[in-house]
Amino acid sequence: MKKVLVLVLLVIVGYFLTDTFNLIPFGENRIGNPQDEQTVAGYYLNNTVEKTSVANTVTAIVVNYRGFDTLGEVTVLFLATTGLGSILFRRKEDEEEIERINKPSSSLMQTGSRVLFPLIALLGIYVFIHGHLTPGGGFQGGAIIATGFLLMLISYKNFKAGHTMLNWVESLAGITFVSIGLWGLLTGGTFLENVLPAGELNNLISGGVIPIIYIAVGFKVAAELTGVLDILLNIKPKK
Amino acid sequence: MQNFEQYNSIITTGVYGSAIALILIGLYAVLIKKHLIKIVIGLSIIDAGVHLLFVAIGYIKGGTAPIFSPGNEDAVNKMVDPVPQALVLTAIVIGFAVTAVALSLVIRLYKHHNTARIDQIKSLKW
Amino acid sequence: MVISPVHYIAVPLLAAFTIPLLSKYIHKELARIVPGIVLLYSVFVSIVLMMQVSEVGVISEKIAGWSAPWGINLMFTPFSGFLASLMSVVGFLIWLYSYNFKKIEQSQSQKYHILQMMMVTGAIGIVLTGDIFNLFVFMEITAITAYSLTSFYRERDGAEAGFKYLLIGSFASVMILLAVMILYTQLGTLNMAEIAQNAHLIPTPLRATILVLFLVGFGIEAEMFPLNGWAPDAYSQSPGPIGAAFAGIVVKAGVYALIRVIFTLFDIHGAYDFLIYGGLITMIIAETAAVAQTNLKRMLAYSSIGQMGFVLIAFGIGTKTAIIGALFLMFNHAVIKSLLFMSGSYLTYNSLNKKISALAGLGKKLPIVSLLFGLGAFAIVGLPPFSGFWSKLYVLTAAADQNMLLLIMAILAVSIIEIIYYFRVVSTLYYGKQEDEEIKVQKPSINAMVSMLILGATIIVVGVYPDIITHFLNNAADMLLDKASYIQAVLTQNIN
Amino acid sequence: MITYVVIFSILAVLLVASALYAVIQKDLLAAVISTGVVSLILSVFFYLMQAPDVALTEAAIGIALTTIIFVITIRNTSRNEDETVDNNLEKF
Amino acid sequence: MNSFFLILLILFAGAGLSFVLGKISSIISGTVAFLSIAAASALFFTQIEMGSFIEFSLGGIQLQWGLNSYGYLFGIIVLGLGTLASLYSISYMQNKERTSGFYFNFVLVIAGMTGIIFANDFISFFIFWEIMTWASYLIIIYSGKNVKKIGIKYMIFSAIGAYSMLTAIVMIKGQYDTFLISDAINAGAFNFIDNIYIPILLLIGFGVKAATMPLHVWAPGAYNNAPTSFTVIFSGAMSKMGVLGMGLVLGHMFTADRSGSLTNFFSGFSVIYLQQTIGWLGGITAVIATLYALIQDDAKKLLAYSSIAQLGYITVGLATGTKLGVMAALFLAVVHGIFKGALFMVVGAVERQAGTTDMTKISGLIRKMPFTFLTALISIIALAGIPPLGGFVGKWMLYEALITESNSYFLVIVIFFSSTAAFLYSYRFLFGLFLGQEEKETEQVKEAPITMIIPMLVLAILLVITGAFPGLIFSPIATAMEFIGFKDVTWNMSVLNNVWGNEMNLTYLGITIGVVFVSIFAFITLKGLKGTRYVGTKDISTSGEIPYENENLTFQINFFQPFVRAAAPMYKRSMNKIWNELGNGLEALFNFTRKIYTGNGQTYALFVVIFLVLMLLFKDTLFV
């Protein structure tokens, strides 16, 4: 009965979604001619290089034009970690010896992770350092680094993500982001304003504060995601 | 490229269709499946569908990624819309955060009720 | 440094990121104190900006140096500023109240305070932002903190409530995302002022779809029936002060978003009717559900939902008087419901199932808290000379101006139901006979007392002399109705 | 062009199929892996639609991290949807 | 400072002060309450000029406070009775708990009523009305007895009344864009032809306080449950606020100029119809309440029902819409305030001294409490409408108005029946408490303290005076009636001539009445002082007959049994039951609707999707 109702509802929802997207042709140019700067997207495409010297327009949008969103997004991650910690909080008294895994991982896995981890971390760092030039950036790099940590966390029984280190990275990265914003507010007049010189396109050091912010985001995301994994992995499994 | 028109409808159907299908499948899981993890899976499938739609609306036929590489500076007219991509980036991360919180709640619910079936977890009602 | 709206967001964020370090390396008490300082600073910012805005009209701030359609902007108008100030004040009082509300572990306490602070920040962000996607991001900030705080206590069924909230909340975010997406394809912009300016260009079927998605999405946050299944659970299972925060802050943000969409973005007649009917059904169902509750917090939750329905009705009427009434209602609801949740939490401090019958005879043991609860109960049902009366009067007057006799009757009939269950609690409090075994009472701490007394005093002062805030309400209502000046203020902003 | 369309169609079918599989499969671990496959294909789609940034993000977060937190959750709860068969993960 | 503000400030400050000081001592608290009310009364009668008013705005609404002749009439009742009752309270409440709360609310009720009298606009009227209501609610539940049964019922009915009033107020605002009572009247808001809803809603609102059928069910319990020193105010003054409002509405309705709308046959008809309805409601109220008063064993309950019956007369009088009828009603209102206040004070004194008001338990208090008895006697004479006291004048005028001016013969029969039956319960009251043989249980009873005796005697003396010189009250009533639309009320003889004859001078009549009364009183007292043989009430000779097993020989129980048996069918159906059924039905309904919240999160999600689908299906019709 309920299934039938749901299926009917799904059919209707599907009909309306199809109906709606029929009116939005796929692959059509809705920006118009960027040179006209009619739309926001056109403005971005047309002005990014000139005004920010950032090759990757998406990065420019994420970090600069809509940097406020990104700040919020980083905050969401931060809050998710905090919330996760509070939801899965264990009291000291009912905390027993945490058995992360029932059996130690095979040595193959351990060695593999040990070799892979620096490489993955390096890749991640590369991704977010070059965020303004190539595809990728803070989120992607951070997530990649977090997968590296994941590997270590599940291979080594005693590998601790290093709460102190995590805390520091997390906090400092966040503070950096907001401080840059406030710096912009103090010197340029608006929050997150790009107060550093834009530099030259396609240079590693270009785009003003954009790469700095993206690196901070990268570290922040990596730390948060690792934190999430760490909390989840530390739950005592059910017997 | 001359064949594009005749394949266009296939691709349109493919992208929009699969995105809408993802949303519906996810919705089905959320509304019918009793297991909490299945419901969360459903939610993330819905999210995936929405993200796909989001990227799809920014796509422009024959466009290139909105990245200026050396020697490509005048490709502005061919670039796809970068704004939806930026929004999807944000949305994906937020979706992940929500999923993480949801799963932690599932774990706690399971410990509390010793079950993960949503129809058995209703101590709060009326 | 010039005080600007972005301080509302930047300072709490900076603090939130810093608190883990501060508490670890300097003093662990800082984890609880710093949020309070930050929220107090928000109150200060509110005062400064409210003074400024009454001179300037609109304070518009660009983020990252990009003016309106290109970048995100914050709009501190008399309307949004009123709500932001309300939220910051209530947020600060909630912090004050929960400073040593229950004995919990240091690390939990730290998380609690960070989450509570960010909840306020997220809600203020929703209210201030001028960008629809940014609004979504802030809504997610608020939502994530709300999910976590709902399931904060392990002893209660918080996780259940939190999961339901999350499930429905995810629906809301999906719908809002879809709506933003369709909107973007049509107008190529995310700035609300520009959307408002060009909304009439959208083809009608798409515009209706967008509106439906927005209404349902924000309707979930605004606790509209039948989208509010999560609300009673979340209110009743969250820590006491968070119940107050839901009523005073989170729902207000949801209603703000709904109102912004309807009033500014899509000025469509049907949407106002939607508000009236949706609000009416919400109010009737919630208030009738509250009558038979045995759980105090759940009763307060249903009452809160009902009040939000009333707010929606008031906005739906749409005239200036009605909007003044609606804003007054929001103010009252924030103040009074916070007071009720705060005092109610102390009344049921050690009771696990928060039964109303367990309140019997507490009037003697906790005289001041009981008195404050009684005051809140009297005020929320709209008895003069407390503040609840004025808001009701304004809304009814506005409804009468529009000749909505049946609506008036329905509102007042529901008010009678409200009287029944609130007075039942109050009479149990003072004259009830103890039936179950005695539950140890907890005397409120001084800071909680101060917080409650401030709210109580506000109720009386505003009730006796409403002119204190009607001036602000007047400006806010003018601003909300003056769509053109909002658009103009956003789109012609220059470097200030 | 035809190859492109064929690959594309296969991917689309796979995408929907794996999503369906994720929903109907009783073994939650398989369902989660299937969800990972959805993310994987999605990531390819993003790449095809000229959104490399999104593709990268989806790859890192959708495929790896989301899947792994699902797996951790399953380890902490039950593996089978019906909860009748108690076959928790021994290890992973 | 303006006197209006000053009076209310004194009252509110007195309320707050007595609340705070109540923590120290009940007597101090009571004294403060008395002093503040007395001070307010003194200011009211000396400082405020009739017709003066002040204007100010609150919350963007123009408010006006003032004093008109109509308000002044009720001000006499409220503040006069208030002062006496608060004096009376000091001793009455002496040894009770939570007196601080009692005095706080007591003074608030007085303040609320004073505010109602001052209010020249609907908003302040409503505010003070509500203050009065909730403060009285708090006093009713003050003792902690029957909180759920009576307190909630009182609050629900008060709320129904208040909210119908509020609806009417906002409708007036909506239609005439004014909150001022005078503006609304001038605009014709009470003109039944143009506005059917506004007067009816207002009448419902005032009818609740005036305990008119079918909105009366709260009254007996509430009157009985409140501490007696408050019931004095409750029955004597607060119910008159309902009369005030009804008089205002009905007066303006009946005197409204309908020359313009007379062409419409139905419109003229509808006013008559309403008039008849209200009159009959009042009549039925009077009869039913009288019947219930008969079967009460508790003196306080008896008086409670009696109050309702008297209010029924007043309603009938107001509903006649003629000069004589309205005058009778207002006269009855004032006199009722005095004698019912006195009677409740008597009951309070008995309650305090003897510990109970149950008429089956006590009797023969005449020797123990002579002053109390004196007050009771005078008041009962007034209540029963026996000449020469005020009750008779009022009732006579009422009959006359009904017969000569509105031709409502059936209503007269009903009223007359009720008045006759009132003799029975009046007798019962007097006999049950004071006459008859002394009981063993009441041997230790002493006369009430002086602070209770003084107010009682003051009221008794007032009764005699008003009975002798009804003109003393007619003069303010005549001016008051001008305010509610009855112009040129000449009360000197021309109106009264039908009662007392053209030639007779009231002063001489008064003196005669006084002489007769004093001699009767002297006779009774002297007779009472002489030693008589006292036998216990249960010590009854059966004149040699063997009583049947189930025959009740103690006549104090089932006092009017034959009568009650005769009227048994009348007791079967009660409004109370109907309301209770309604309440239960609604509760069941509410219990059903809340099942929507099933507790299953998935169901909630389903609701969301269903709602979304519905909205999508109708989006093109809803949002164009």
pLDDT by residue (tens digit) across C418-448?
A: 888 888 888 888 887 776 667 778 888 888 8
Could you say which residues from 582 to 611 on chain E have a Cβ atom under 8 Å away from some Cβ of chain B?
594-595, 597-602, 605-606, 609
- Annotate E42-76 with three-state secondary structure: HHHHHHCCCCCEEEEEECCEEEEEECCHHHHHHHH
Give the range among A218-227, C139-148, E93-102 with minimum mean pLDDT: E93-102
Contact C235, C300 (CB under 8 A): yes
- Please tell me the distance in Å from A68's CA to the nearest CA on chain C: 7
CB contact under 8 A, E623 and C268: yes
Give mean pLDDT, residues C26-37. 86
A93 touches chain C (CB under 8 A): no
C163 against C102, higher pLDDT:
C163
- What's the mean pLDDT when you consider all of chain C? 87
Q: Is the pLDDT of residue E493 over 50?
A: no
Fold classification of B4-120 is: Helix Hairpins (1.10.287)
Which residue in A189, C421, B42 sits closest to D35, CA to CA?
B42
Give mean pLDDT, residues E270-288. 83
Give mean pLDDT, residues C477-487. 86
- Annotate E305-320 with three-state secondary structure: HHHHHHHHHHHHHHHH
Tell which phi-psi region holds residue E443, choosing left (phi > 0), alpha (psi between -120 and 50) or beta: alpha
Going by pLDDT thresholds of 50, 70 and 90, the confidence category of residue C142 is very high
Which residue in E407, E408, E410, E405 sits closest to E486, CA to CA?
E405
CB contact under 8 A, A101 and D91: yes
Write down the pLDDT at residue E268. Answer: 58
Give mean pLDDT, residues E394-417. 79
Chain E hits for B119, Cβ within 8 Å: 600, 602
- Closest chain B residue by Cα to residue A235: B107
Kind and range of the H or E run holding D12: helix D2-24
Going by pLDDT thresholds of 50, 70 and 90, the confidence category of residue E570 is low
Neighbouring C-alpha atoms within 13 Å toward the C-beta of C454:
15
Going by pLDDT thresholds of 50, 70 and 90, the confidence category of residue E578 is confident
Q: Is the pLDDT of residue C327 over 60?
A: yes
Q: Is C360 helix (H, G, I), strand (E, B) or coil?
A: coil
C148 touches chain B (CB under 8 A): yes
CA–centroid distance for B13 within its chain? 17
Residue D50's contacts (CB-CB under 8 Å, 6 or more residues apart) are: B59, B63, B64, B65, B66, B79, B80
CB contact under 8 A, B94 and C140: yes
Axis-axis angle for helices E265-294, E197-209 (nearest 10): 10
- Please tell me the distance in Å from E106's CA to the nearest CA on chain B: 40
Encoded tokens for E103: 């005095």
Residue B76: DSSP 8-state: G
CB contact under 8 A, A147 and D64: yes
Q: E63: which strand partners?
A: E56
Q: Is the pLDDT of residue D89 over 50?
A: no
Write down the pLDDT at residue C454. Answer: 92
Chain B hits for D9, Cβ within 8 Å: 10, 14
pLDDT digits (tens, 9 = 90+) for B29-73: 998 888 888 899 999 999 999 999 888 888 888 778 887 777 666
Could you say which residues from 29 to 68 on chain D have a Cβ atom under 8 Å away from some Cβ of chain A?
51-53, 55-57, 59-61, 64-65, 68
Residue A188's contacts (CB-CB under 8 Å, 6 or more residues apart) are: A194, A195, C65
Give mean pLDDT, residues C172-184. 91
Cα–Cα–Cα angle for B40, C206, C220, nearest 5°? 40
Give the whole-number percent of chain B exceeding pLDDT 90. 24
Q: Distance (Å, rounded) from C-alpha C375 to C-alpha C336? A: 9
Q: Is the pLDDT of residue A101 over 50?
A: no
Q: Distance (Å, rounded) from C-alpha C216 to C-alpha C178? A: 12
Going by pLDDT thresholds of 50, 70 and 90, the confidence category of residue A56 is confident
- Closest chain B residue by Cα to residue C189: B83
**Domain edges within chain D:** 2-76
Q: Distance (Å, rounded) from C-alpha E518 to C-alpha E524? A: 10
Chain E hits for B37, Cβ within 8 Å: none
Name the residue facing B97 among A13, A35, A80 (closest C-beta).
A80
Give mean pLDDT, residues C248-267. 88
- Please tell me the distance in Å from B10's CA to the nearest CA on chain C: 21
Chain E hits for A6, Cβ within 8 Å: 606, 609
What is the torsional sign of CA E207, E209, E213, E218? Answer: positive
Q: Is the pLDDT of residue A30 over 60?
A: yes
DSSP-derived secondary structure for C286-349: HHHHHHT--BHHHHHHHHHHHHHHHHHHHHHH-SHHHHHHHHHHHHHIIIIIHHHHHHHHHHTT
Q: Is the pLDDT of residue E499 over 70?
A: no
Q: Is B107 helix (H, G, I), strand (E, B) or coil?
A: helix
Name the residue facing D53 among A58, A101, A143 (closest C-beta).
A58
Give the whole-number percent of chain D exceeding pLDDT 90. 9
- Please tell me the distance in Å from B32's CA to the nearest CA on chain E: 8
For testing contact with chain E, the best of C165, C212, C224, C469 (most E CBs within 10 A):
C212
Contact C456, E176 (CB under 8 A): no
For testing contact with chain B, the best of E593, E600, E612 (most B CBs within 10 A):
E600
Kind and range of the H or E run holding C76: strand C73-76
For testing contact with chain E, the best of A7, A9, A17 (most E CBs within 10 A):
A9
- Please tell me the distance in Å from A87's CA to the nearest CA on chain E: 19
Q: Which residue has the tokens 């007036």?
A: E172
Write down the pLDDT at residue E411. Answer: 82
Going by pLDDT thresholds of 50, 70 and 90, the confidence category of residue A35 is low
Give the range among A159-163, C31-35, E496-500 with minimum mean pLDDT: E496-500
Q: Is the pLDDT of residue E265 over 60?
A: no
CB contact under 8 A, C154 and B108: yes
Q: Is the pLDDT of residue D85 over 50?
A: no
- Closest chain A residue by Cα to residue C66: A65
- What's the mean pLDDT when you consider all of chain D? 82
Q: Distance (Å, rounded) from C-alpha C476 to C-alpha C487? A: 15
Q: Is E352 helix (H, G, I), strand (E, B) or coil?
A: helix
Chain E hits for C209, Cβ within 8 Å: 616, 619
Q: Is C62 helix (H, G, I), strand (E, B) or coil?
A: strand
Q: B62-98 burial string, b = 16+ CB within 10 Å, else e?
A: ebbbbbbeeeeeebbbbbbbbbbbbbbbbbbbbbbbb
Write down the pLDDT at residue E503. Answer: 42
CB neighbours of residue C496 within 10 Å: 12
DSSP-derived secondary structure for A150-212: HHHHHH-TT----HHHHHHHHHHHHHHHHHHHHHIIIIISSBT---S----TT-SS-STTHHH
Write down the pLDDT at residue B56. Answer: 87
Q: Is the pLDDT of residue C457 over 50?
A: yes
H-assigned helices in E210-298: 219-225, 228-233, 239-255, 265-294
Q: Distance (Å, rounded) from C-alpha B33 to C-alpha E602? A: 9
Give the range among C31-40, E283-292, E558-567, E592-601 with minimum mean pLDDT: E558-567
Q: Distance (Å, rounded) from C-alpha C374 to C-alpha C367? A: 10
Q: Is the pLDDT of residue E3 over 50?
A: yes
Give the whole-number percent of chain E exceeding pLDDT 90. 1
Going by pLDDT thresholds of 50, 70 and 90, the confidence category of residue C496 is very low
Going by pLDDT thresholds of 50, 70 and 90, the confidence category of residue A186 is confident
pLDDT digits (tens, 9 = 90+) for C258-288: 888 888 888 888 888 888 999 999 999 888 8
Give mean pLDDT, residues E122-143. 87
Q: Distance (Å, rounded) from C-alpha D53 to C-alpha A138? A: 10
Give the range among A35-44, E346-355, E546-555 with minimum mean pLDDT: E546-555
CB neighbours of residue B106 within 10 Å: 25
Q: Is the pLDDT of residue E504 over 50?
A: no
Which residue in B92, C5, E29, C274 sits closest to A185, CA to CA?
C5
Q: Distance (Å, rounded) from C-alpha E602 to C-alpha A5? A: 13
- Annotate A41-89 with three-state secondary structure: HHHHHHHHHHHHCCCEHHHHHHHHHCHHHHHHHHHHHHHHHHHHHHHCC
Going by pLDDT thresholds of 50, 70 and 90, the confidence category of residue E510 is low
- Please tell me the distance in Å from D3's CA to the nearest CA on chain B: 11
Contact E36, E104 (CB under 8 A): no
CA dist C138 to A69, C19, C125, C134, C312, Å?
Answer: 8, 21, 6, 6, 22
Give the range among E57-71, E214-228, E436-450, E483-497 with minimum mean pLDDT: E483-497
Give the whole-number percent of chain C exceeding pLDDT 90. 23
CB contact under 8 A, B86 and A27: no
Q: Distance (Å, rounded) from C-alpha A178 to C-alpha A223? A: 17
CA–centroid distance for E586 within its chain? 29
pLDDT digits (tens, 9 = 90+) for E538-564: 555 555 666 565 555 555 566 666 777
Write down the pLDDT at residue E539. Answer: 54
Q: Is the pLDDT of residue D92 over 60?
A: no
Give mean pLDDT, residues E47-61. 82
Residue E531's contacts (CB-CB under 8 Å, 6 or more residues apart) are: none
H-assigned helices in C129-157: 132-150
- Closest chain E residue by Cα to residue B39: E602
* Range from A16-25, C125-134, E149-158 that averages highest in pLDDT: C125-134
Longest CA span, chain D: 50
Q: A186: which strand partners?
A: none
Chain A residues with CB under 8 Å of a chain D CB are: 56, 58-59, 101-103, 127, 135-137, 139-140, 143-144, 146-147, 150, 154, 225, 228-229, 232-233, 235, 237-238
C355 touches chain E (CB under 8 A): no
Give mean pLDDT, residues C54-65. 82
CB contact under 8 A, E604 and C230: yes
Q: Is the pLDDT of residue C105 over 70?
A: yes
CA–centroid distance for E469 within its chain? 24
Q: Distance (Å, rounded) from C-alpha C134 to C-alpha B13? A: 31
Chain D hits for A228, Cβ within 8 Å: 65, 69
Question: From the CB coordinates, do chains E and A have 3 or more pairs under 8 Å?
Answer: yes
DSSP-derived secondary structure for E75-92: HHHHHHHHHHHHHHHHHH
- Please tell me the distance in Å from B35's CA to the nearest CA on chain A: 15
Q: Distance (Å, rounded) from C-alpha E212 to C-alpha E314? A: 10
Q: A13-28 burial string, b = 16+ CB within 10 Å, else e?
A: bbebbeebbeebebbe
**Domain edges within chain E:** 280-536+554-573, 574-622
Write down the pLDDT at residue A236. Answer: 61
Tell which phi-psi region holds residue C223, choosing left (phi > 0), alpha (psi between -120 and 50) or beta: left
CB contact under 8 A, A43 and C70: yes
Cis peptide leading into residue C12 (ω within 30°): no
Question: From the CB coordinates, do chains E and D have 3 or more pairs under 8 Å?
Answer: no
A158 against C474, higher pLDDT:
C474
Give the range among A1-15, B76-90, C482-496 with minimum mean pLDDT: C482-496
A78 against C68, higher pLDDT:
A78
Q: Is the pLDDT of residue E46 over 80?
A: yes
Touching B (3+ Cβ pairs <8 A), the chains are A, C, D, E
Write down the pLDDT at residue D87. Answer: 47
Question: From the CB coordinates, do chains C and D have 3 or more pairs under 8 Å?
Answer: no
B30 touches chain E (CB under 8 A): yes
Write down the pLDDT at residue E549. Answer: 58
Contact E244, E70 (CB under 8 A): yes
Q: Is the pLDDT of residue E169 over 80?
A: yes
Give mean pLDDT, residues D1-25. 86
Q: Is the pLDDT of residue E349 over 50?
A: yes
Q: Distance (Å, rounded) from C-alpha E335 to C-alpha E382? A: 8
Cα–Cα–Cα angle for A211, A215, A218, nearest 5°? 140
Write down the pLDDT at residue A159. Answer: 67
CA dist E425 to C407, D90, E306, E334, E397, Å?
Answer: 46, 89, 8, 21, 22
Touching C (3+ Cβ pairs <8 A), the chains are A, B, E
Q: Rounded to the nearest 5°, which phi and psi values hold at B67?
A: -125, 125
Chain D hits for A132, Cβ within 8 Å: none
CB contact under 8 A, E599 and B123: yes
Could you say which residues from 577 to 606 on chain E have a Cβ atom under 8 Å away from some Cβ of chain A?
606
- Closest chain C residue by Cα to residue E586: C288
- Please tell me the distance in Å from B34's CA to the nearest CA on chain E: 8
Q: Is the pLDDT of residue E536 over 70?
A: no
